[in-house]
Structure formats: C-alpha cells, structure tokens
Structure 1
Amino acid sequence: MNNPEIGKNIVAANIETNYHDLGDGYPVIMIHGSGPGVSAYANWRLTFPSLSENFRVIAPDMVGFGFTERPEDYDYCMDNWVTHIIGLMDALDIKKAHLVGNSFGGGLAIATALRYPERVNRLVLMGAAGTRFEVTEGLEAVWGYEPSIENMRKVLDIFAYDRSLVTDDLAKLRYEASIRPGFQDSFSKMFPAPRQRWVDALSSSDEAVRSLSNETLIIHGREDRVVPVSSSIRLSNLILKSQLHIFGCCGHWTQIEQNSRFCKLLIDFLNEDSPA
C-alpha cells in the first residue's frame, strides 16, 4: 500500500529530501510545524487540492521530520533549516517563491526571508513562531511528547479547538507516525527542556522583523493553546506590509479547522500582483 506522506525525493543541501510537488504556476513553498510525527503531507494535505489549482505547491519534510533523511549528529538549528530550504529551491531551480509557514515553519519562513530576501516574495505566517513569547503549557506538552496513544491524544486535543476532529483513529495514526524508525530520536533532540530557549531560537529580533519588506498575511486561531495569538498581533505590528486575520473558535490547526476559508485567504492574497 502506498503511503501518501511519501512524495518525490531530491538531494537538497546534501540532504535526501522528501517533498510534494503539485500543480503549475508561481511556486509556493509550504513549511510544516514541529508536532510529533508530523510530515508535510499530514500538515498540508487538505490545502493541496485548491492551492494546486492556482499555484505550483511544494511541501517538503524539513530535515529531522517526516521522510527526509536524518543524518547522524546533525545540528538541528535555524541556520541549517534555512540552508535546507534554500538548497531545495536551488535543486528545483526556483529563483524566487512565496513562503507559507505553520508554527515552527513560520519562524523558519521569517528567517529565510531575512537571510535571503532576493529569494522570497510573499509570506504567509500561520500560528507562527518567529517572535519571542513565554513558552505555553501547550507547546511544553507538544515538544515534551513521549510516545503513547494516550499522550498523542492529549497533544492533538491541544492543537484543535473542535475536539470532534481528534478521533481515536487520528490519534492512532499520528502515534504510529511518531514511532517510525528515527522519528522520535530526532524529535527528542530538537527541543529538550528547558524549552524557552527553543522559542527564542526560532525567533528573530524585533529590529530584524521590522526590516521585512515582504507583503505578509498573518493568520491565527484565537483559541490557539500552542502559540499565543498575541505573537501574531506582535508580528503584525512589526511587519509594515502585513495584514492579520484571526479566526474565532479555532485553535492551532487553522488550515484544518477553517480549511476552505484558509485556502481562499491564501489564494486571494497570493494572486494579488502575482508574478508571471
């Protein structure tokens, strides 16, 4: 049986990289979050159909996550994740792209735009890290996950405002993903306690964020228990060319809990003055 989480494979920045490449048009690179057992497909699968009708959608498993290579003694840090994103763009011969970042991926999208401004067009930041905030109980639980179906159920309950989305089948599926060979080994190395330092490590300084000239769409669920909505409000105050959309009755899973509205927001925003 084919696993839909496994897409294409390419060497990017010397890393064997699993990625999904759908549709045609201007490239949009979608960067997943940092939950246990996460993959690009698990994070973005519900957005692929509508977004790929409008753009070329590229969703990689970042090094340390999903089905991308996990080199021994790899230093999981922002500089190396940025290098991986740029390496993927180089390998695919993409000179410039829109970046969409979820949570951890939002911090990475910001860092990439700051280090390589000539490679990044528009930014979409969803429930994004990238600015300093006090680590939440929810994020402590997510990064401190120890594999069990019960613990995975607790983590998924933190992500979703609508608990009906968190079924026993989903908890079992995500638990099984989290215990695939190498998955928990790399995950446990990334964000060990004390975890405030990793929130800070994913952040860019206010001065740097203020220097961003990218048109930026910021999206957040008002009831997000992982990354506080105040973080996105702060980003919107720092980024000159930004707009902020807050969904009520929505947690950290905006792209799932508000899927059709989320996709419409992205399509409308990214289609404005879209380059040929």
Structure 2
Amino acid sequence: MTNPEIGKSVVAAGIQTNYHDVGEGYPVILVHGSGPGVTAYANWRLNIPYLSQFYRVIAPDMVGFGYTEQPEGYEFSLDNWVQHIIGVMDALDIQKAHIVGNSFGGGLAIATALRYPERVGRLVLMGAAGTKFKLTEGLDAVWGYQPSIENMRKLLDLFAYDRSLVSDELAEVRYKASIRPGVQESFASMFPAPRQRWIDSLASSDEELKSLSNETLIIHGREDRVVPLSSSLHLAEVIDRAQLHVFGRCGHWTQIEHTDRFNRLVVDFFNEINE
C-alpha cells in the first residue's frame, strides 16, 4: 500500500523536498502548520482535490517536517523557511503564485510576500502566526509535545471544536508520524521553551504588515484555542487590502472543520478578477 503522504521529490534550496503537485492553471502554494507529525498531505488532504480543479496546487513538506530531508545542524528560522518556499518555486519554475498559509504557515506566507513581493499574488492566512500575540496554553502544548498516543489525542482535541472529528485512528496515525526517525528530534529542537520567543520570531512588524500590498483573505475559527482570534483581527486592521472571515463553531482547523465552505471561499477569492 502506497503512503499518500509521499508525493513527488525535488531539490529546493539544497534540500530534498517532498511535495504534492496536482491540477493545472495558476499556481497555488499551500504551506502547512507546525503540529507534531504534520505533513502537507495531513494538513491539506481535504482541500487539494477541490482546489486542484481550478488551479495548480503545490503542497510541500517544509524543511523540518514530514518526508522532506532533515539536514543535520540545519538552523530553523523564518528566513530559512522563506528561502525553502522560494526554492520550491524556483525548482518548479514558478515565477509567481498565490500562497495559502495555515497557522505557522501563515507567518511564512506573510514573510515570503514581504521579502519577495514580485513572486506572490494573493494571500490566504488561516489561524495565522505572523503578528505578535501572547503564547496560549494550546500553542505551548502543541510545541511542547512529548510523544505518546494519549498526548497526541489531547492535542487533536485541542485543535478541533467538534471533538467527533478526532478519532482514535487519527490520533494513532499522527502519533506514528510524530515518532518516525528524526522527526521528534527535529520538532523538539524547533520551538524549545520558553516559547513566546518563537511566536515573536515568526511575526512581522506592524510597519511591515502595513506595507503589504497583496489582496489578503484572513480566516479564523472563533473557538481557536491555539492562535487567538484577536491576532487575525489585528492582521485585518493593519493589512491594507485585507478581508476577514470568522467561522463560528470552529477551532484551529478551519480547512478541516469547515472543508466545503473553506474551499469555496478560497476559490471565490482567487477567482476575483480585480487584481
């Protein structure tokens, strides 16, 4: 049985990178979050089939996550992750793309648009890092994860508003992903305590955010216990061409908890002609 989390492979910014590449048309890059055991496929499996009907969808495992190479001694930093995104674009000969960033990936999406404005079209930010906020108990638990099925189950319960979305099977799959060789070592080295500094290191300043000229769709779950809704309200205040959509009865997984609405919202936003 083939593993659906493993897609194609390309060397991007010197890193052997696992990625999914589906559909045709204008490129859309999906940047996943930073939960333990996360992969692009786990994050976007419910969105790629719909989005790829309209666009070429590229979803890489960012360096440090999933099935992308874990280089020894690699420095995990905002700048290096941005270089990895640009490296993926360069390797696939993509001049410009829309970027959809989930949580941690939202912070990377913002930073990529600020550093390489000519390479980024529209932005979609969901439960995004990218502005400073006080470390939540939820995010502290995510980044401080110690591998066990029980701990993974607790984390997944924290992500979703509707706990019925979190099955024992899902917890087991994500737990097994989190204990693959090298994965936990890499993850533990990424966001060690005290963890407020990592939120701050992924954040762009208000001055930078005000300079963003990209049309930006901000999406957040009202009941998000990992990244507070207030952070997206702030992004919506300072990003010039921003619009904000809040899902009620929704936690940190907007793309999973409200899949159909999320998919339509994103495609409608990208389909607007007034670029």
Give the TM-score band, short-chain normalised. over 0.9
Match of residue 135 from structure 2: 135
Q: 2:181 maps to what in 1?
A: 181
Secondary structure in structure 1 of the residue aligned to 2:123 = strand
State the match for 1:244 in structure 2.
244
Question: Superposition RMSD on alpha carbons, in Å?
Answer: 0.8
Moved over 3 A (4+): none
Deviations 1:12-65 (A, max 9, x none): 000000000000000000000000000000000000111000000000000000
Distance in 2 between the 1:137 and 1:190 partners?
Answer: 18
Superposed counterparts of 1:68-107, under 5 Å: 68-107=68-107
Matched with 2:268 is: 268
**Unaligned stretches of 5+ residues in structure 1:** none
Distance 2:53 2:242 in 1: 25
Measured in 2, the distance between the counterparts of 1:216 and 1:236 equals: 9
Q: For residues 274 and 264 of structure 1, what CA distance do their matches in structure 2 show? A: 18
Give SS of 1:20's match.
Answer: strand
Match of 1:4 in 2: 4
- Tell me which residue corresponds to 2:156: 156
| Amino acid in structure 2 at the alignment position of 1:49 | P
- Taking the aligned partners of 1:272 and 1:28, their CA distance within structure 2 comes to 15
Whole-angstrom CA distance in 2 between matches of 1:168 and 1:118: 44
> How do residues 6-155 of structure 1 correspond to structure 2 at under 5 angstroms?
6-155=6-155
1:274 to partner: Cα distance: 8.0
Distance in 1 of aligned mates of 2:146 and 2:117: 38
Q: Secondary structure at the match of 2:47?
A: helix
Provide the identity percentage: 74
Q: Structure 1: how far apart are the matches of 2:47 and 2:83?
A: 25
SS where residue 246 of structure 1 aligns?
Answer: strand
Q: Distance in 2 between matches of 1:157 and 1:146?
A: 16
Counterpart code for 2:268: D
- Partners of 1:103 and 1:256 in 2: CA distance: 13
Shift of 1:272: 1.0
> CA 1:10 to 1:274, structure 2 compared with 1: closer, same or farther past 3 Å?
farther
Whole-Å separation in 1 of the counterparts to 2:158 and 2:77: 25
CA-CA distance at 1:217 after TM superposition = 0.3
C-alpha separation in 2, matches of 1:193 and 1:220: 26
In 2, distance between residues paired with 1:146 and 1:15? 27
Deviation at 1:199, TM superposition (A): 0.3
Q: CA deviation at 1:273?
A: 1.8
TM-score by length of 1: 0.99
Distance 2:274 2:69 in 1: 33
